[in-house]
C-alpha cells in the first residue's frame, strides 16, 4: 500500500512510522517547515519512547519519507490519512474542524486517482460525511471514498499501542473502502487483533464515548478519594478492591490531581457540546468536566494548607509538569492550573521535569527550572509530586527532607507511603484520598 499521512504530530508521526514498519510505503506531510526539517535530519520533534529508532529503521529501508509538499505525498497514494489537530474551538467548546476540513480540501484538489480519505483525527459524529461533501465539491471528478479510523494510542506507550492495539475501529460506507482499509491493517488482522468495521457515525462515536468513559472513570475515583479524606479509608486500597472486579478493571482507577492532556479535556467538552446541539444532554460528561475542574482547585487548597495557609514568600518545588510521564506534552496539564495559582499568590516555584522544559518554559513563566529533584528541594518549604515520572519514584527522602527549609510534601500521585515520608524526616506529608 502507498499511504500519505497528513500531520506529523503525536498521532500522525507514530501512525506513519508504524504503517511503514508494517511494510507500507509512507510519506508524511506537515505544514510546519521546522518539523519537516527535523524529521529529514532523522530527529523526532516530540518525545515518544522508541520512536526515533523505529523511524530511522524505516527511513533506511526506503519505506518512509517526509515532505512539506502534499502533491508529492499523494503521488500514487491508495489512502490519505488526516491526522491533524482538532483542538477545542475558542468560545464554545466544540471541536475545531478547520484543520481537518482544510486537509480534506487540499487532498481533494491534489489527488489524481481513486483514493480513500481516512480521518484519524478525533472528530464529532457527522464529520466524515462533511469531509465527503467538501471533497466532492472541491474536485467533482475525483473517485474517492471516506473512512473513519479513530486512533486510541496513548502518548508514552504509543508504538506498543499502535502495534498491539486492543482493537482497530474502521468506519466505512463502501465495500471498496473496506477492502483498502483491510489491506492497510492486514498485518494486525493476521495477528488476530480485533478490527471493528462499522458505519461512519458509529466509528466517530466510539472514540468520543471511549474517551468520555475513561475520563469518567478517573474522575469517579478522584471523587471517591475526596470522600475518603473526610470519612477515613485509603483510596489506593479502595481502587485495588474495586479494580480486581473484572467488570470494573484496575486501569484508569488511580486517584490524582485531575485529568489533563491533549485528549480528555477537549473530547469531553466536544461530546458535551454535541449532546447540547442534539438536545440529548450528556449529563454525566458535563458533571465529569465540572468535577475535574473542582479537583484541580482542591489541589491548590491542599498545597496552601501545607504552606500553613499562605503561599507568599514560600518556595515550592514541583516535580513533573507534563500531563503524564513519558511524554513532553503539556496540553491541558494540571500543572498549568496549579503552578500559576502558586506563582500568583507569591510563591517562588522551582520546576523539574525530565522532558517538559522545552514546551513548559513558555507556558509556565516566572518559575525557575532546575535539573534534578534535590536541587529543587534545597531550602524549599514544600515539595509537590505532580507527575509520576519514574525518576521521582525512588527519591532519597531523607536527603530531600534534610535539605528543605520546611520539610512538607504533597504527593499528588500517591507514589510514597505516609509512614516512609514521616520516618524520613518529613514533618508533614499529604497525598490523595488517604
Ligand atoms: N495525542 C494523542 O495522544 C492522541 C490520541 C488519539 C487521538 N488523537 C487525535 O489525533 C489528532 C491529532 O492529534 P495530535 O496530538 O497528533 O496533534 P498535534 O497537534 O501533535 O499534530 C497535528 C499536526 O498536524 C499538522 N497540520 C495541521 N494542519 C495541516 C495541514 N493542512 N497539512 C499538513 N499538516 C497539518 C500540524 O502542523 C501538526 O504538526 C487529534 O484529533 C487528536 O484528538 C490524539
Count CB-CB contacts under 10 A for residue 368: 13
Q: Where are the alpha helices (DSSP H) in 113-199?
A: 127-138, 158-163, 175-184, 186-190
C-alpha–C-alpha distance, residues 33 and 88, integer Å:
24
C-alpha–C-alpha distance, residues 212 and 272, integer Å:
9
Residue range 70-129, pLDDT digits in tens: 999 999 999 999 999 999 998 899 999 999 999 999 999 999 999 999 999 999 999 999
| pLDDT of amino acid 230 | 97
What is the CA(103)–ligand 1 centre distance, in A? Answer: 11
Is the Cβ–Cβ distance between 92 and 52 less than 8 Å? no
One digit per residue, the tens of pLDDT, for the chain of length 434 reads 999 999 999 999 999 999 999 999 999 999 999 999 999 999 999 999 999 999 999 999 999 999 999 999 999 999 999 999 999 998 899 999 999 999 999 999 999 999 999 999 999 999 999 999 999 999 999 999 999 999 999 999 999 999 999 999 999 999 999 999 999 999 999 999 999 999 999 999 999 999 999 999 999 999 999 999 999 999 999 999 999 999 999 999 999 999 999 999 999 999 999 999 999 999 999 999 999 999 999 999 999 999 999 999 999 999 999 999 999 999 999 999 999 999 999 999 999 999 999 999 999 999 999 999 999 999 999 999 999 999 999 999 999 999 999 999 999 999 999 999 999 999 999 999 99
Grid cell listed for 296: 484541580
Annotated catalytic residue 263: yes
C-alpha–C-alpha distance, residues 135 and 118, integer Å:
12
Contacts of 276 (CB under 8 A, 6+ apart): 282
The pick from 15, 28, 85 for probing ligand 1's pocket by mutation, whose C-beta has the most ligand atoms within 8 angstroms, reads: 85
Is the Cβ–Cβ distance between 40 and 5 less than 8 Å? no
Give the residue carrying C-alpha cell 498485518: 187
| pLDDT of amino acid 413 | 98
The pick from 39, 83, 153, 359 for probing ligand 1's pocket by mutation, whose C-beta has the most ligand atoms within 8 angstroms, reads: 83
Grid cell listed for 88: 477545542
| pLDDT of amino acid 71 | 96
C-alpha–C-alpha distance, residues 255 and 266, integer Å:
21
Pocket of ligand 1 (CB under 6 A): 6-12, 29-32, 35, 83-86, 99, 102-103, 106, 121-122, 151, 153, 155, 262-263
Nearest to 148 by CA among 95, 198, 212, 188: 198
Residue range 300-336, pLDDT digits in tens: 999 999 999 999 999 999 999 999 999 999 999 999 9
3-state secondary structure of 393: coil
| pLDDT of amino acid 218 | 98
What is the CA(395)–ligand 1 centre distance, in A? Answer: 36
Grid cell listed for 431: 497525598
| pLDDT of amino acid 247 | 98
| pLDDT of amino acid 380 | 98
The pick from 18, 66, 74, 84 for probing ligand 1's pocket by mutation, whose C-beta has the most ligand atoms within 8 angstroms, reads: 84
Count CB-CB contacts under 10 A for residue 388: 19
State the pairing for strand pair 144-148/168-172.
Answer: antiparallel
What is the CA(86)–ligand 1 centre distance, in A? Answer: 7
Count CB-CB contacts under 10 A for residue 192: 7
What is the CA(262)–ligand 1 centre distance, in A? Answer: 10
Please classify residue 47 by burial: count the beta carbons closer than 10 Å to its beta carbon, then call 0-12 exposed, 13-18 middle and 19+ buried.
buried
- Which residues is 117 bridged to in the sheet? 80, 146
Count CB-CB contacts under 10 A for residue 346: 11
What is the CA(234)–ligand 1 centre distance, in A? Answer: 39
Contacts of 300 (CB under 8 A, 6+ apart): 337, 338, 341, 342
Per annotation, catalytic residue among 28, 228, 263, 307: 263
- Which residues is 10 bridged to in the sheet? none
| pLDDT of amino acid 111 | 97
| pLDDT of amino acid 309 | 98
Is the Cβ–Cβ distance between 121 and 100 less than 8 Å? yes
DSSP H or E stretch at residue 6: strand 2-6
The pTM of the full predicted model, rounded to 2 decimals, is: 0.96
Nearest to 318 by CA among 397, 387, 239: 387
Nearest to 46 by CA among 359, 372, 386, 365: 359
C-alpha–C-alpha distance, residues 337 and 335, integer Å:
5
Is the Cβ–Cβ distance between 302 and 309 less than 8 Å? no
What is the CA(30)–ligand 1 centre distance, in A? Answer: 10
- Which residues is 4 bridged to in the sheet? 27, 80
Q: Which atom of ligand 1 is nearest to the CA of 262?
A: 1
Residue 145 vs residues 111, 129, 142, 378: alpha-carbon distances, Å: 12, 10, 10, 60
Nearest CA to ligand 1 atom 10: 121
Grid cell listed for 200: 461512519
| pLDDT of amino acid 153 | 98
Nearest to 426 by CA among 315, 306, 312: 306
Nearest to 93 by CA among 214, 261, 268: 268
Amino acid at each position: 500500500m502507498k499511504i500519505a499521512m497528513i500531520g506529523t504530530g503525536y498521532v500522525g508521526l507514530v501512525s506513519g512510522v508504524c504503517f511503514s514498519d508494517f511494510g507500507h510505503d509512507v510519506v508524511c506531510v506537515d505544514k510546519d517547515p521546522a518539523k519537516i526539517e527535523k524529521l529529514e535530519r532523522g530527529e523526532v520533534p516530540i518525545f515518544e519512547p522508541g520512536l526515533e529508532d523505529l523511524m530511522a529503521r524505516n527511513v533506511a529501508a526506503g519505506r518512509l519519507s517526509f515532505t512539506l509538499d502534499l502533491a508529492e505525498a499523494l503521488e500514487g497514494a491508495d489512502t490519505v490519512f488526516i491526522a491533524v489537530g482538532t483542538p477545542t474551538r475558542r468560545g464554545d467548546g466544540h471541536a475545531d474542524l478547520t484543520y481537518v476540513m482544510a486537509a480534506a480540501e487540499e487532498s481533494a484538489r491534489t489527488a489524481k486517482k481513486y483514493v480513500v480519505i481516512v480521518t484519524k483525527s478525533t472528530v464529532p459524529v457527522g464529520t466524515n460525511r462533511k469531509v465527503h461533501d467538501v471533497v466532492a465539491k472541491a474536485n467533482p471528478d475525483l473517485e474517492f471514498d471516506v473512512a473513519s479510523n479513530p486512533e486510541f494510542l496513548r502518548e508514552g506507550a504509543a508504538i506498543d499501542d499502535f502495534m498491539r492495539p486492543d482493537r482497530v475501529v474502521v468506519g466505512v460506507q463502501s465495500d471498496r473502502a473496506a477492502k483498502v482499509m483491510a489491506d492497510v491493517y492486514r498485518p494486525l488482522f493476521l495477528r488476530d487483533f480485533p478490527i471493528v468495521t462499522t458505519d461512519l457515525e458509529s466509528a466517530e462515536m466510539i472514540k468520543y464515548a471511549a474517551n468520555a468513559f475513561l475520563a469518567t472513570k478517573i474522575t469517579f475515583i478522584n471523587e471517591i478519594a475526596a470522600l475518603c479524606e473526610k470519612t477515613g479509608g485509603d483510596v489506593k486500597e479502595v481502587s485495588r478492591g474495586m479494580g480486581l472486579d473484572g467488570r470494573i478493571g484496575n486501569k484508569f482507577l488511580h486517584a490524582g490531581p485531575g485529568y489533563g492532556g491533549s485528549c480528555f479535556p477537549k473530547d469531553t467538552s466536544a461530546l458535551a457540546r454535541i449532546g447540547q446541539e442534539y438536545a440529548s444532554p450528556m449529563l454525566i460528561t458535563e458533571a465529569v468536566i465540572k468535577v475535574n475542574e473542582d479537583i484541580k482547585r482542591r489541589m491548590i487548597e491542599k498545597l496552601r494548607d501545607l504552606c500553613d495557609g499562605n503561599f507568599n514568600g514560600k518556595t515550592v518545588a514541583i516535580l513533573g509538569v507534563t500531563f503524564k510521564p513519558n511524554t513532553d506534552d503539556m496540553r491541558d496539564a494540571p500543572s498549568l492550573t496549579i503552578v500559576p495559582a502558586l506563582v500568583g499568590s507569591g510563591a517562588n516555584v522551582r520546576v523539574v521535569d525530565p522532558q517538559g522544559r522545552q514546551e513548559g518554559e513558555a507556558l509556565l513563566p516566572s518559575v525557575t527550572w532546575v535539573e534534578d529533584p534535590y536541587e529543587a528541594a534545597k531550602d524549599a518549604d514544600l515539595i509537590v509530586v505532580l507527575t509520576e515520572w519514574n525518576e521521582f519514584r525512588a527519591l532519597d527522602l531523607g536527603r530531600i527532607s534534610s535539605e528543605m527549609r520546611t520539610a512538607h510534601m504533597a504527593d499528588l500521585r500517591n507514589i510514597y507511603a505516609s509512614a516512609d515520608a514521616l520516618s524520613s524526616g518529613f514533618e508533614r506529608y499529604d497525598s490523595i484520598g488517604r
